[in-house]
């Protein structure tokens, strides 16, 4: 018998109780012993809930759980930094294993918590902290353990992916779609940390820490949100063969790591292009495995509960076999992140210019002076005096691109630089394999 | 130190040696001890190889490995039924753990081998036996352990997926693409077990055995290959908004399992539609997680080696911690498979008819008499006396459809039934979610 306790009984907490009850026999079978839910920490005992839990199980006093020697495993689902961070540390210090879905605590304090867990010979697991039910943390640590990971591309925020999908499908503007998403419950009342990319930054920092075995400070990740994406950019992307997604990227670049979150053009043929609505996906490249992708619902009650209960099962197996599990190897290293100004990308530029002879020549000369060369040019609506000019550049260091933009703004016939969006020029998988594949099925 | 030995040094075996050498420090770090490759069973010691192995390490005598008490872990990469099956059993009986990529042995003898491993308290792992590098067996057993699995849809054979992709992209016929695929090394000289669906049947039987915890006899799986797919069917599928893929399907259907392999129409919006070339994917539905997909290279030297070495790492962790790992729970149950005649599907029918008034009425009456109703009709090329009639039916039991086809063949103005292909009418994910998703990120 493994005794567990929940801290927090909100959306995900209730989902965890449901899954544990619904698939009880199946789960106990898999562990080889019974999981017994002993206590649940709640804010308010009297709140009406849609789950079936005995009153005596609920407590508002964390000490009743953290000081109970019979509890082997704590499941932290309060979220946010405090008091979750303190509870997790206290649990570990009391030799209890911990399962959590708290991206903030893991992204900020992962190495410290791992060291503490190793010292106390208990487990810490957090599959639910990144991309809900989509299996990625355990596969990274186990199924892909033979690989040196080279790059990770994630669609890690369901709210922004929902908004971009609806903008694409329904030809609507950002603010209108956001309002609908809030009504449907796909966006929070205060959606800022989703929209501005911060939520995705926490998640990519956790994935990159595992993949590259070094701590990634979220504060040093370049983050740009989707609030400035206009309908016209999405339409133009479509015409050029792309879709716009909020990408979370982490890749090796020489002796640095290039980690960033920003909207990006990706080819319609890329498997990430069909990741729509609230779905998430992680696409990565390993030196042996080549490219693999994991796709699923990145949030929501039951998908996240699925990940949390999978962690509970794995940790419970360790507990009943009295053995340490496979926690992250904490190398103690702190990643040196590449500055965004040094990153090379192709760019999509949308510029309003006066429709006069010679303007195009002026624009391309300024770009050329800053080592920016053009991959394609689209000029539309030639019936007015002011026309949009759409350019896609070859890969160029961001620093040079930004300098060229400052210069472009000085040209008299350039009215406005409307959009600057990075283009993810990753090869289309299956067309650019590194090695010719030999049959080995 | 964990001592391992390889049986077989073909394509995948050489890949395993390469990965072990190339990522040695990284791998030893992850296990917490050193993996030492002690012996390799080869057919021919003098064969020229592109890997760096001491001569003294190679042997042609299996007893030198199977009787060596210092060897903890055997990696079987010979393939085929015999002698691989015997070697695996002998290894386990000598208290050695086993890692294998042998789909045939696992599909046929999985339950027996699991029982033997449990009895001898050793591990058996076989991630490489299904879909190469794509992580699916361990995720099914661990990351999705909280779920009751409802359905699995797999693109599990790289050769047939390559052929269907090229038929779609280049408007070529099956036999021409097959010849090219053989030249490029994407198809074997004798490609029959890929083309006829048997290879995919072995793989879906392994996945379904794990997901549904009962033994699936490969012989009782309905299997249809891609050899009869014509270019015109692929073009018509495209016009109707579909692509044709060879699908391996396993799903619960009442108290039976519906397991089958056959070409199927799938919607262009479905994530499986972008799984092209030699790539594989497994798309599944769990009761908590909803739909998830794993995508990657399903074959080839390095992807398969990635899966095999991941298994080696996990098993070596168990060995050096002196504990049993998480082998499959063998319930001893044998699955009761649904007969194909009782399965309900939509169907695509391509029929050549005389272009006369009343023919369409005759055809629809015969279909209606057998409870086959039509979802769409496409009639083309009206300039000749004989015209193709393309029908897509609503879901109907295969038995009724087949009876209606026998009747159709008797109609005088029906020249020929050219194609009958099942349509996978799965809802498009993200549009038909079972529950409204609440925010839980």
The chain A residue lying nearest B189, using CA atoms, is A439
Query: Residue B329: is its pLDDT beyond 50?
Result: no
Q: What is the pLDDT of residue B237?
A: 93
Collect all residues of chain A within an 8 Å Cβ-Cβ radius of residue B323.
321, 323
Collect all residues of chain B within an 8 Å Cβ-Cβ radius of residue A134.
292
> What is the tens place of the pLDDT at every residue in A220-235?
999 999 999 999 999 9
Whether B323 contacts chain A with CB within 8 A: yes
Query: Residue B382: is its pLDDT beyond 90?
Result: no
Q: Pick from A186, A314, A436: which is nearest to B437 by CB?
A: A186
Of B19, B276, B289, B429, which to mutate for an interface test with A (greatest number of A Cβ within 10 Å)?
B289
- Mean pLDDT confidence for B420-437: 59
In the set A203, A245, A251, A338, the catalytic residue is: A203
Q: Pick from B19, B279, B301: which is nearest to A440 by CB?
A: B301
Interface of B with A in 265-284 (CB under 8 A): 269-271, 273-279
Query: Residue B365: is its pLDDT beyond 70?
Result: yes
Q: What is the pLDDT of residue A430?
A: 43
Measure CA of the first residue to CA of the last residue in chain A; give whole Å.
42
> What is the tens place of the pLDDT at every residue in A299-308?
889 999 999 9
Instruction: Work out the number of other CB atoms within 10 angstroms of the CB of residue B303.
Output: 31
Whether B199 contacts chain A with CB within 8 A: yes
Q: Mean pLDDT, chain B, as a whole number?
A: 90
Q: Pick from A29, A304, A437: which is nearest to B299 by CB?
A: A437
**How many Cα atoms within 13 Å fall on the side-chain side of residue A253?**
18
- Confidence tier at A378 by pLDDT (50, 70, 90): confident
Show the tokens assigned to A112.
Answer: 């410290």
Q: Which residue has the higher pLDDT, B341 or A330?
A: B341
Query: What is the C-alpha to C-alpha distance for residues B222 and A121, in angstroms, rounded to an integer?
Result: 50
The conformation of residue B382, written as its DSSP 8-state character, comes to T
Q: What is the pLDDT of residue A382?
A: 65
Query: What is the C-alpha to C-alpha distance for residues B15 and B10, in angstroms, rounded to an integer?
Result: 8
Q: Are B365 and B394 in contact (CB under 8 A)?
A: no
Partner-chain contact A290 B305, CB within 8 Å = no
Q: Mean pLDDT, chain A, as a whole number?
A: 90
Phi, psi of B277 (to 5 degrees): 55, -140
Q: Pick from B307, B317, B329: which is nearest to A30 by CB?
A: B329
Query: Residue A427: is its pLDDT beyond 60?
Result: no
Q: What is the pLDDT of residue B332?
A: 63
- Confidence tier at B439 by pLDDT (50, 70, 90): very low
Give the rounded percent of residues in chain B with a pLDDT score beyond 90: 75
Collect all residues of chain B within an 8 Å Cβ-Cβ radius of residue A193.
none
- Mean pLDDT confidence for B102-130: 93
**Sign of the CA dihedral with B224 first, then B227, B228, and B233 last:** positive
> What is the tens place of the pLDDT at every residue in A71-87?
999 999 999 999 999 99
**Domain annotation for chain A: domains and CATH numbers:** 2-132+301-320 (3.40.50.720), 137-297 (3.30.360.10), 341-439 (3.30.70.260)
The conformation of residue A181, written as its DSSP 8-state character, comes to H
Q: Are B140 and B147 in contact (CB under 8 A)?
A: no
Least confident residue range of A48-57, B222-231, B328-337? B328-337
Partner-chain contact A271 B273, CB within 8 Å = no
> What is the tens place of the pLDDT at every residue in B46-71?
888 889 899 999 999 999 999 999 99
Query: Residue A386: is its pLDDT beyond 70?
Result: yes
Of B37, B79, B143, B297, which to mutate for an interface test with A (greatest number of A Cβ within 10 Å)?
B143
B104-108 long-range Cβ contacts below 8 angstroms, 24+ apart: B104/B79, B104/B80, B104/B202, B105/B76, B105/B81, B106/B206, B107/B202, B107/B203, B107/B205, B107/B206, B107/B209, B107/B216, B107/B218, B108/B81, B108/B218
Partner-chain contact B185 A23, CB within 8 Å = no
Partner-chain contact B317 A326, CB within 8 Å = yes
Q: Pick from A12, A147, A297: which is nearest to B306 by CB?
A: A147
Partner-chain contact A301 B199, CB within 8 Å = no
Collect all residues of chain B within an 8 Å Cβ-Cβ radius of residue A188.
439
Query: Residue B352: is its pLDDT beyond 50?
Result: yes
- Mean pLDDT confidence for B41-48: 90
Interface of A with B in 158-177 (CB under 8 A): 158-159, 165
Query: Residue B223: is its pLDDT beyond 50?
Result: yes
Q: Are A320 and A32 in contact (CB under 8 A)?
A: yes
Query: Residue B438: is its pLDDT beyond 70?
Result: no
Q: What is the pLDDT of residue A441?
A: 41
Whether B49 contacts chain A with CB within 8 A: no
**Look-up: residue for tokens 């080549």?**
A290
User: Number of residue pairs across A and B with CB atoms under 8 Å?
Assistant: 293
Whether B317 contacts chain A with CB within 8 A: yes
Instruction: Work out the number of other CB atoms within 10 angstroms of the CB of residue A294.
Output: 26
What Å distances lie between residue A218 and A116, A333, B404, CA to CA?
A: 21, 15, 63
Q: What is the pLDDT of residue A330?
A: 54
- Confidence tier at B432 by pLDDT (50, 70, 90): very low
Query: Residue A325: is its pLDDT beyond 70?
Result: no
Question: Is B203 an annotated catalytic residue?
Answer: yes
Q: What is the pLDDT of residue B229?
A: 95
Show the tokens assigned to A21.
Answer: 């009850």
Q: What is the pLDDT of residue B326?
A: 46
Q: What is the pLDDT of residue A431?
A: 43
Q: How far is B329 from chain A (nearest CA, A)?
A: 7
- Mean pLDDT confidence for A136-142: 92
- Confidence tier at B431 by pLDDT (50, 70, 90): very low
In the set B166, B203, B245, B251, the catalytic residue is: B203
Give the global pTM: 0.89
Whether A185 contacts chain B with CB within 8 A: yes
**Look-up: residue for tokens 């995705």?**
A200
Of A8, A143, A158, A313, which to mutate for an interface test with B (greatest number of B Cβ within 10 Å)?
A143
- Mean pLDDT confidence for A372-378: 91
Whether B35 contacts chain A with CB within 8 A: no
The chain A residue lying nearest B292, using CA atoms, is A296
> What is the tens place of the pLDDT at every residue in A259-280?
999 999 999 989 999 899 999 9
Interface of A with B in 112-131 (CB under 8 A): 127
The chain B residue lying nearest A145, using CA atoms, is B310
> What is the tens place of the pLDDT at every residue in B289-323?
999 999 999 888 999 999 999 999 999 988 876 65
> What is the tens place of the pLDDT at every residue in A93-132?
999 999 999 999 999 999 999 999 989 999 999 999 999 8
Give the rounded percent of residues in chain A with a pLDDT score beyond 90: 75
Collect all residues of chain A within an 8 Å Cβ-Cβ radius of residue B324.
321
Q: Pick from B279, B296, B323: which is nearest to A323 by CB?
A: B323
Q: What is the pLDDT of residue B169?
A: 95
Query: Residue B434: is its pLDDT beyond 60?
Result: no
The chain B residue lying nearest A278, using CA atoms, is B430
Interface of A with B in 69-108 (CB under 8 A): 103
- Mean pLDDT confidence for A334-363: 90
Query: What is the C-alpha to C-alpha distance for residues A434 and B72, in angstroms, rounded to an integer?
Result: 34
- Mean pLDDT confidence for B417-441: 61
- Mean pLDDT confidence for A176-203: 94
Q: What is the pLDDT of residue A439?
A: 46
Q: What is the pLDDT of residue B32?
A: 83
Interface of A with B in 377-436 (CB under 8 A): 429-431, 433, 435-436
Q: Are A159 and B322 in contact (CB under 8 A)?
A: no
Partner-chain contact A143 B135, CB within 8 Å = yes
Query: What is the C-alpha to C-alpha distance for residues B391 and B397, in angstroms, rounded to an integer?
Result: 16
Query: What is the C-alpha to C-alpha distance for residues A437 and B185, in angstroms, rounded to an integer?
Result: 8
- Mean pLDDT confidence for B386-411: 93
> What is the tens place of the pLDDT at every residue in B245-298?
999 999 998 889 999 999 999 999 899 998 999 999 999 999 999 999 999 998
Distance of CA A139 to the CA centre of its chain: 16
Q: Pick from A26, A135, A165: which is nearest to B139 by CB?
A: A135
Query: What is the C-alpha to C-alpha distance for residues B139 and B36, in angstroms, rounded to an integer?
Result: 27
- Confidence tier at A332 by pLDDT (50, 70, 90): low
Q: Is the peptide bond before A83 cis (omega within 30 degrees of 0)?
A: yes
- Mean pLDDT confidence for B72-96: 96
Query: Residue A238: is its pLDDT beyond 70?
Result: yes
Whether B12 contacts chain A with CB within 8 A: yes
| Cβ-proximal residues to B96 (8 Å cutoff; 6+ apart), any chain | B66, B71, B72, B73, B74, B122
- Confidence tier at B383 by pLDDT (50, 70, 90): confident
Whether B320 contacts chain A with CB within 8 A: no
Q: Identify the CA nearest to A33 among candidates A319, A372, A368.
A: A319
């Amino acid at each position: 018998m493994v005794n567990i306790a929940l801290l927090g009984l909100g959306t995900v907490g209730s989902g965890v109780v449901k899954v544990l009850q619904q698939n009880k026999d199946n789960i106990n079978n898999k562990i080889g012993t019974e999981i017994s839910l002993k206590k649940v920490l709640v804010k308010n005992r009297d709140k009406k809930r849609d789950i079936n839990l005995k009153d005596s199980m609920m407590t508002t006093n964390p000490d009743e759980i953290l000081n109970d020697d019979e509890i082997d495993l704590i499941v932290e689902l309060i979220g946010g930094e405090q008091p979750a961070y303190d509870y997790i540390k206290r649990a570990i210090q009391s030799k209890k294993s911990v399962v959590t879905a708290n991206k903030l605590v893991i992204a900020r304090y992962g190495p410290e918590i791992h060291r503490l867990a190793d010292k106390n010979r208990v487990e810490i697991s957090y599959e639910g902290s990144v991309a809900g039910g989509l299996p990625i943390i355990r596969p990274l640590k186990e199924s892909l353990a033979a690989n040196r990971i080279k790059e990770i591309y994630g669609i890690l925020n369901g709210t922004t992916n929902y908004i971009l999908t609806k903008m694409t499908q329904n030809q609507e503007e950002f603010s209108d779609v956001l309002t609908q998403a809030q009504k449907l419950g796909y966006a929070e009342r205060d959606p800022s940390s989703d929209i501005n990319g911060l939520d995705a930054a926490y998640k990519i920092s956790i994935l990159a820490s595992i993949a590259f075995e070094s701590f990634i400070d979220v504060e040093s990740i370049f983050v740009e949100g989707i609030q400035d994406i206009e309908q016209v950019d999405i339409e133009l992307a479509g015409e050029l063969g792309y879709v716009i997604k909020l990408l979370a990227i982490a890749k090796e670049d020489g002796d640095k790591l290039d980690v960033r979150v920003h909207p990006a053009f990706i080819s319609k043929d890329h498997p990430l292009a069909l990741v729509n609505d609230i779905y998430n996906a992680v696409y990565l490249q390993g030196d042996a495995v080549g490219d693999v992708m994991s796709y699923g619902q990145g949030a929501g009650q039951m998908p996240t509960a699925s990940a949390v209960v999978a962690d509970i099962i794995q940790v419970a197996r360790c507990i009943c076999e009295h053995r340490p599990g496979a926690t992250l190897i904490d190398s103690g290293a702190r990643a040196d992140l590449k500055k965004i100004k040094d990153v090379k990308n192709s760019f999509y530029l949308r510029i309003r210019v006066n429709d006069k002879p010679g303007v195009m020549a002026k624009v391309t000369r300024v770009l050329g002076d800053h080592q920016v060369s053009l991959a394609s040019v689209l000029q539309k609506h030639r019936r007015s005096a002011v026309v949009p000019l759409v350019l896609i550049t070859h890969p160029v260091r961001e620093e040079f691109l930004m300098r060229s933009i400052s210069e472009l703004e000085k040209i008299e016939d350039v009215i406005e630089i409307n959009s600057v969006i990075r283009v993810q020029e990753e090869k289309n998988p299956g067309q650019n394999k590194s090695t010719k594949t030999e049959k080995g099925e």
